[in-house]
């Protein structure tokens, strides 16, 4: 079972300690100071502040890695219906 200790931040990129990229925090293109989480499957969340985005990224990644709940059911931030091209 993976936990927060198995993950590491490198700037705005969340990786496994082995180096695999799991999620990236991206600034929102319209709203200054707001961010979105892009998961490794390409899905993008609604916008939130930076601390909430980092927390949501960790929760979603761990849920996905541990297959406890689907990423869309993880708390804090929901996934947008559209995916970026």
Question: Can you give the pLDDT at residue 72?
Answer: 54
pTM of the model: 0.75
For residue 6, what pLDDT is reported?
Answer: 93
What does the pLDDT profile of the chain (85 residues) look like in tens digits?
Answer: 888 999 999 999 999 999 999 999 999 999 999 999 998 888 899 999 999 999 999 999 998 888 755 555 555 555 565 544 4
Please answer whether residues 24 and 38 qualify as being in contact, where contact means their C-beta atoms are separated by less than 8 angstroms. Answer: yes
- Phi, psi dihedral angles at 77 (to 5 degrees): -135, 130
CA gap 15, 8 in Å, rounded: 5
């Amino acid at each position: 079972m993976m936990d927060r200790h198995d993950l590491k931040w490198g700037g705005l990129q969340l990786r496994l300690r082995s180096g695999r990229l799991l999620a990236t925090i991206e600034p929102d293109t319209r709203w200054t100071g707001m961010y979105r989480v892009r998961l490794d499957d390409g899905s993008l969340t609604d916008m939130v502040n930076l601390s909430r985005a980092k927390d949501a990224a960790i929760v979603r990644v761990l849920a996905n890695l541990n297959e406890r709940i689907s990423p869309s059911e993880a708390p804090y931030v929901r996934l947008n219906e559209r995916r970026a091209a």
